[in-house]
Structure 1
Amino acid sequence: MTESTAPQSDPEHRTVLLRGGDVHSPADPFATAMVVERGHVAWVGSEGAADAFAGGADEIVDLEGALVTPAFTDAHVHTTSTGLALTGLDLSGARSLAEALDLVRAFADGRPADAVLLGHGWDAARWPGHRPPSRRELDEAAGGRALYLTRVDVHSAVVTTALLDRVPGVTAMDGYRPDAPLTGDAHHAVRAAAHATVTVRQRADAQRAALRHAASLGIGTVHECGGPEISDEDDFTSLLALAGAEPGPRVIGLWAEHVENEKGAARIRELGALGAAGDLFADGSLGSHTACLHEAYADAPHTGSAHLDAARIATHVTACTEAGLQAGFHAIGDAALTAVVDGIRAAAERVGLARVRAARHRVEHAEMLTPETIAAFAELGLTASVQPAFDAAWGGEDGMYARRLGAERAATLNPYAALLRAGVPLAFGSDSPVTPLDPWGTVRAAAFHRNPEHRISVRAGFTAHTRGGWRAAGRDDAGILVPGAPADYAIWRTSELVVQAPDDRVARWSTDPRSGTPGLPDLSPEADLPVCLRTVVGGRSVYVRPNE
């Protein structure tokens, strides 16, 4: 990819001509060129017609056969935690308990005795024996230091004695069990104590690291899912301020706090949040045995934890709808999802179904759906903000889901094809750092779901990870390269483009399976994923691959 540039001007007011590649645009299925003016797409068309724009361009980019697509939107991210995982102790690659403890020792070695160490990503479900580290083992590995290690799902954590000693009364809190991972209130209290030790500079460095990494993957927008049980207000508002002041991906903020009236709604607006949504917990996670189920776990004698009932959900959705705010919930288990749809239906009876649908309320994760709850999502106009990488990581006959639920129930999880058949909008995300930022890998995971009945086309998955995130944020004019749309795009080095055939088994759920539509990269499991060469947000380059 080469470029020629006229004298520099304000990037937001420059005219850029891209030519000599493939432009993924419904405006012209065979487009090879695009013009960007004042931060928006101005024209999309053929190489021959591009000559008319060359004389007035401030910059001409020769794509050299590269692919231009809308930038991805990751609809569920924890930005600071992602940055801390990128810059700190990452246990996601540990293949055993012993290997995880070795990583802790290496990370702790040489650090001050009074340091508070933060780490993330252990997953005992993947280890031989399926046992998490004991407190004694962690105390030894950390050399007596305070240590906080979140499980991969971030719904439980293991900690050292030195960190517990910093939280008075923790042993009497819900979710505390001697020498077992912390959940519930005990986990929230210890997390707050650990995160309170992160300095303002460390936090900003972590946020920048996460946003830089997102940009390097062709992600132009992230939905930050904050809340009082996840981070804190300073973390949330500082991220929004940083994203507004520095070039990088856009950040759309969701704040997970229960709202009961206009005063509560005003507080959400003051924080700069789009809505009182995201990780407003109706339940927990399957990996930590805290997702709320109708029937007991296959490997535990209980049904998990319910954090919100239908009545509180109805109050929240009613208040948000009346205030013009988006509402949303974290709900994974079938019982939690039943409570969510029952509560939202009750709110619709109070304020009117049309108003509830217009608000585009959303549900995060929405894994353990039934035909009845899928139909309710469609009826109520709910967006399913989902993470296909969950199935790639924990699905299948031998995966964690099957151990937690049994094979029959596990096979029903993450039914993307059924959601699209019912007309439910999908927005794809990662829940990073739970699973990594990896947009093309996410689309691949949806197209090659471990249960073939739940697979969707690459095109439908790509739409869910681009336009779907914008629609979830109330914007129908973005996430697509057509004249007038924001110039949020990425340039890719990729393999030959593939147009999904109309008779493909999953093409029925594509946004447009006709042979004349623009192709997308081959995402079959054996294919190499595209490499991002440049990411542009609002007409401004926020990432350029070195030596490209």
Structure 2
Amino acid sequence: MSQRTTTPDRAPDPSTVLLRGGEIHSPADPFATAMVVSRGQVAWVGSEGAADAFAATADTTVDLEGALVTPAFTDAHVHTTSTGLALTGLDLTTAATRDAALERVRAHAGARPDDRVLLGHGWDAARWPDTRPPTREELDAATGGRPLYLSRVDVHSAVVSTALLDLVPGITGKHGYAVDAPLTRDAHHAVRAAAFAAVTPAQRAGAQRAALRHAASLGIGSVHECGGPEISSEDDLTGLLRLAGEEPGPRVVGYWGERVTGAADAERIRSLGAVGAAGDLFVDGSLGSHTACLHEPYADAPHRGASYLDAAEVTAHVVACTEAGLQAGFHAIGDAAVSAVVEGFRAAAEKVGLARVRAARHRVEHAEMLTPETIAAFAELGLTASVQPAFDARWGGDEGMYVERLGVERARSLNPFAALLRAGVALAFGSDSPVTPLDPWNTVRAAAHHRTPEHRVSVRAAFAAHTRGGWRATGRDDGGVLVPGAPADYAVWRTGALLVQAPDDRVARWSTDPRSGTPGLPDLSPGSEPPLCLRTVVAGRTVYVRPGE
């Protein structure tokens, strides 16, 4: 299969670097303590003694002092500008009450007198004592009557001030408008577009830099930007790709969530720099906002959610993308939405051939409510499941938001990572940041310690899904692993003892297991401290160094 890239890979560092005296996480040599990087690629991994042969020819020698070197993480679902705006602006994810959220709004408005529209993110009324979102009157008072957009934590609904509504003609007639409740569907998309139109190019670039710097500080070497006409803009995507190509930082792979009906649409999406008409091409919404599309009604609402695309529309998009050689994909969370996606892909396979559909490595984002039948269909059709383990960590369990929305039985079926792996479905892990934070080691931990035990996967499988899985999701098989010839995208970590997880999920109490020949990984048991990133390298070039190192 041919490789896809958003833009040509940035120029690699032409120098040769020898790293020695550490632990190299490599399937080429599970006991490797040294690695050579040359011209942006891994050139060799091996033992400390054998590293002496490279010392004289290396431009630089790095003493790892026992540190762990792993492939850099790939976050397979990110909204970079929104992440940066949350990092640098009004973030309500930790507001424990409505009053606390309103106080943060009030302080933010006072600190940003020149902003045309105040932007904030992350409120979650389901976690507040009385579960009531802020009213428009409360927001008007907190802002002094200024335009304000506050997205719910899942970014599928928002509360806004009256002044923002006044900027959107015809808003009261749009589907999803409510007099004094969160806006959803078309009404939400309209106010979001008005709010983000007020962000200046300089603000946008600053937010993007902040997000990419933060990602690099966490050992993330690549992010998949999931843009689209309903959640961002073409200028946002092209500006981000341009910035990522010009400045040191993580690689950015762009997706644009817009329907393709023919070759002209596909070519236009390629012209944006996107590798696929995928990512957040919405088939439905989210569980938290009651807009995920379900076969049966919600446990706490008398409806089945929202459907934005039906199976026939899925089919048309997949056929057009496959014939144009473009990756297709969809956002689908509810079981009815996932069923529509599967039905649509199967119909597309009948039209263009199963082999062509499988070869395209189309993808589905989130895919939370799966059944044995839809899991088998994902495997049959060669679909990649781009999933977010932190969703379960935040909203799973017998008392979480999933149970409130679905009841215990349906909630326990969500995010079945183990069943997906057993069926042979390719997994790529991400955060959907800013919905949940960029936090790769805790993402791995969340998958290994899923709140529903039968859905847990090994730390090793979770780590692979968050490294190599992200590369494979873009059609590249050469990255996300430290073997000779692979891109030199890696991170250096300070961590405790390394462990090898046995197939029966017990954790062995040794540094590495000679019987398995498997490289060890950090202890990610509940309560343990995740590794600390010391350095992140992309294509052989350092993009982050921890201060003081």
Partner of 2:4: none
The percent identity for this pair of structures is 79
Q: How many residue pairs align between the two structures?
A: 535
Following the alignment from structure 2 to structure 1, what is the Cα–Cα distance between the partners of residues 322 and 494?
44
Do residues 465 (structure 1) and 466 (structure 2) align?
A: yes
1:498 and 1:522 in contact (8 A); partners too: yes
Q: Deviations over 1:106-164 (max 9, x none)?
A: 11125437731000000011111111101011111111111100000000000000110
1:297 and 1:303 in contact (8 A); partners too: yes
Following the alignment from structure 1 to structure 2, what is the Cα–Cα distance between the partners of residues 403 and 505?
33
Following the alignment from structure 1 to structure 2, what is the Cα–Cα distance between the partners of residues 504 and 183?
42
Partner of 1:253: 254
In structure 2, the CA distance between the partners of 1:41 and 1:54, relative to structure 1 (3 Å rule), is same
Letter in 2 for 1:20: G
Residue segments in structure 1 that go unaligned for 5+ positions in a row: 1-9
Q: Deviations over 1:403-447 (max 9, x none)?
A: 000000000000000000000000000000000000000000000
TM-score, length-scaled by structure 2: 0.96
Partner of 1:57: 58
Letter in 1 for 2:475: G
Give 1:502 deviation, angstroms.
3.6
1:475-514 → structure 2 map (5 Å cutoff) = 475-504=476-505
Partner of 1:100: 101
Secondary structure (helix, strand or coil) at the match of 1:490 reads strand
Give 1:514 deviation, angstroms.
6.1
Following the alignment from structure 2 to structure 1, what is the Cα–Cα distance between the partners of residues 222 and 215?
9
Do residues 119 (structure 1) and 86 (structure 2) align?
A: no
1:501 and 1:513 in contact (8 A); partners too: no
Q: Deviations over 1:198-253 (max 9, x none)?
A: 01100000000000000000000000000000100000000000000111000000
1:279-358 → structure 2 map (5 Å cutoff) = 279-358=280-359
Give 1:257 deviation, angstroms.
0.4
Following the alignment from structure 1 to structure 2, what is the Cα–Cα distance between the partners of residues 48 and 405?
58
Following the alignment from structure 1 to structure 2, what is the Cα–Cα distance between the partners of residues 490 and 234?
31
Residue segments in structure 2 that go unaligned for 5+ positions in a row: 1-10
Q: Deviations over 1:285-341 (max 9, x none)?
A: 000000000000000000000000000000000000011110000000000000000
1:456 and 1:506 in contact (8 A); partners too: no
Secondary structure (helix, strand or coil) at the match of 2:543 reads strand
1:51-450 → structure 2 map (5 Å cutoff) = 51-112=52-113, 115-450=116-451
Do residues 515 (structure 1) and 516 (structure 2) align?
A: yes
2:81 and 2:208 in contact (8 A); partners too: yes
Partner of 1:30: 31
Partner of 1:3: none
Following the alignment from structure 2 to structure 1, what is the Cα–Cα distance between the partners of residues 112 and 431?
32
2:330 and 2:365 in contact (8 A); partners too: yes
Secondary structure (helix, strand or coil) at the match of 1:476 reads coil
1:277 and 1:327 in contact (8 A); partners too: yes
1:391 and 1:449 in contact (8 A); partners too: yes
Secondary structure (helix, strand or coil) at the match of 1:203 reads helix
Following the alignment from structure 1 to structure 2, what is the Cα–Cα distance between the partners of residues 547 and 459?
31
Secondary structure (helix, strand or coil) at the match of 1:83 reads helix
2:498 and 2:523 in contact (8 A); partners too: yes
1:502 and 1:514 in contact (8 A); partners too: no
In structure 2, the CA distance between the partners of 1:478 and 1:111, relative to structure 1 (3 Å rule), is closer
Following the alignment from structure 1 to structure 2, what is the Cα–Cα distance between the partners of residues 513 and 98?
56
Following the alignment from structure 1 to structure 2, what is the Cα–Cα distance between the partners of residues 432 and 36?
31
1:117 and 1:146 in contact (8 A); partners too: yes
Secondary structure (helix, strand or coil) at the match of 2:292 reads coil
In structure 2, the CA distance between the partners of 1:413 and 1:114, relative to structure 1 (3 Å rule), is closer
Give 1:12 deviation, angstroms.
1.2
Letter in 2 for 1:407: V
2:45 and 2:483 in contact (8 A); partners too: yes
Following the alignment from structure 1 to structure 2, what is the Cα–Cα distance between the partners of residues 183 and 366?
20
Give 1:516 deviation, angstroms.
2.0
Letter in 2 for 1:112: P
In structure 2, the CA distance between the partners of 1:154 and 1:514, relative to structure 1 (3 Å rule), is farther
1:216 and 1:545 in contact (8 A); partners too: yes
Secondary structure (helix, strand or coil) at the match of 1:374 reads helix
Letter in 2 for 1:489: Y
Following the alignment from structure 1 to structure 2, what is the Cα–Cα distance between the partners of residues 75 and 189?
27
Following the alignment from structure 2 to structure 1, what is the Cα–Cα distance between the partners of residues 240 and 279?
16
Q: Deviations over 1:176-197 (max 9, x none)?
A: 0100101111111111111111
Secondary structure (helix, strand or coil) at the match of 1:321 reads helix
Secondary structure (helix, strand or coil) at the match of 1:236 reads helix
Secondary structure (helix, strand or coil) at the match of 1:109 reads helix
Following the alignment from structure 2 to structure 1, what is the Cα–Cα distance between the partners of residues 405 and 135?
21
Q: Deviations over 1:6-48 (max 9, x none)?
A: xxxx971100000000000000010000000000000000000
Secondary structure (helix, strand or coil) at the match of 2:235 reads helix
Q: Deviations over 1:66-105 (max 9, x none)?
A: 0000000000000000000000100001001111111111
Following the alignment from structure 2 to structure 1, what is the Cα–Cα distance between the partners of residues 390 and 495?
21
Greater Cα offset, 183-192 or 29-38: 183-192
Secondary structure (helix, strand or coil) at the match of 1:543 reads strand
Letter in 2 for 1:243: A
Secondary structure (helix, strand or coil) at the match of 1:222 reads strand
Following the alignment from structure 1 to structure 2, what is the Cα–Cα distance between the partners of residues 495 and 362?
36
Q: Deviations over 1:383-409 (max 9, x none)?
A: 000000000000001000000000000
In structure 2, the CA distance between the partners of 1:124 and 1:53, relative to structure 1 (3 Å rule), is same
2:499 and 2:507 in contact (8 A); partners too: no
Following the alignment from structure 2 to structure 1, what is the Cα–Cα distance between the partners of residues 515 and 263?
47
